[in-house]
Amino acid sequence: MIRQAIIPLAGLGTRLLPLTSVFAKELLPINGKPGIEYILDECIESGIKEIIFIISKKKKIIKRYFYNDKFYKKIIKRKKDKRIIKEYNKIKKYKKIIRFVYQNNPKGTGDAILKTKNMIKNNYFLMILPDDLIIKSNCSKDMIYIHNKKKCSVIASTKVKRNTVDRWGIFSKGPYINKNNFYVKDLVEKPNIKNAPSNCAVIGRYILPKKIFGKLVDQKKGKGGEIHITDSIRKLIKEGHKFVGHNFKGKYLDCGTMNGYIKSSMEILKI
Ligand code: G1P
């Protein structure tokens, strides 16, 4: 059963500077709602009961967003504004299921995940990268369905333009299970065009096994000097652990870049 989700939020967000010099990118509004709330709603709808936020001292603003009860109570007492009451109730609902853990020195996604090692209860958990919004369909829910059927790890996949493969984790595919799901043969973090085994990229939704922590503990730095989850997944695949690549149905919005962030508000408006 997948009951826990983890979300790495300690990244510096340099691709969104100057906004991120004073603000957390995950709180930036997309059509009036902070990006992170779309991810929280996706988790809750998928049956997730606990969400672990990996933040840093520099990104304490994220914790403050969910822990501002005194402020809300004061305002609500003065102004009986229905909208504010509704928003406060929503934030209280999120707060109940969020736990925090710190990664003060962002060394990559793999290192972030390792910080949650002692908090993971079941054999599998969900990991979501907050820059990657998927709208119009609940990708996590569909992945949990596949996990329940196949009892293995699952990673979200989409086709990307060949000339952008060096921006993603790229799949090498094994046999197809059905039209939208295949076994992953290998996975390479940000390959150059010449070495890329395909143009199918990892998008930030992963159902990972608890076993991954055994690999992350001594995972060496990879591309760009960061500790990548991709490299530990690769090790598990080489040892015979099954990973399914899932071509998800919804629309992917890359909110980690300024262009993508701007476009995402427009796309959400169209729904
Ligand atoms: C990360 C992962 C990469 C994945 C991408 C999806 O890269 O390392 O494998 O394809 O997210 O957004 P980042 O965006 O941190 O450079």
Q: Which residues of the chain have pLDDT under 70?
A: none
Q: Cis before residue 18, ω within 30 degrees of 0?
A: yes
pLDDT, position 271: 79
pLDDT, position 98: 98
pLDDT, position 16: 93
Which atom belonging to ligand 1 lies closest to the Cα atom of 202? 10
Q: What is this structure's pTM?
A: 0.95
pLDDT, position 270: 87
Q: Give the pair of three-digit tokens for residue 73.
A: 């109570």
pLDDT, position 80: 87
**The domain spanning residue 66 has which CATH number?**
3.90.550.10
In the chain, the number of structural domains is: 1
Which atom belonging to ligand 1 lies closest to the Cα atom of 132? 12
Phi, psi (degrees; rounded to nearest 5) at 83: -65, -45
Structural domain boundaries, residue 126: 4-269
Alpha-carbon dihedral angle through residues 217, 219, 220, 223, given to the nearest 10 degrees: -140
Residues with CB under 6 A from ligand 1: 109, 129, 131-132, 168-169, 189, 201-204, 228, 230, 256
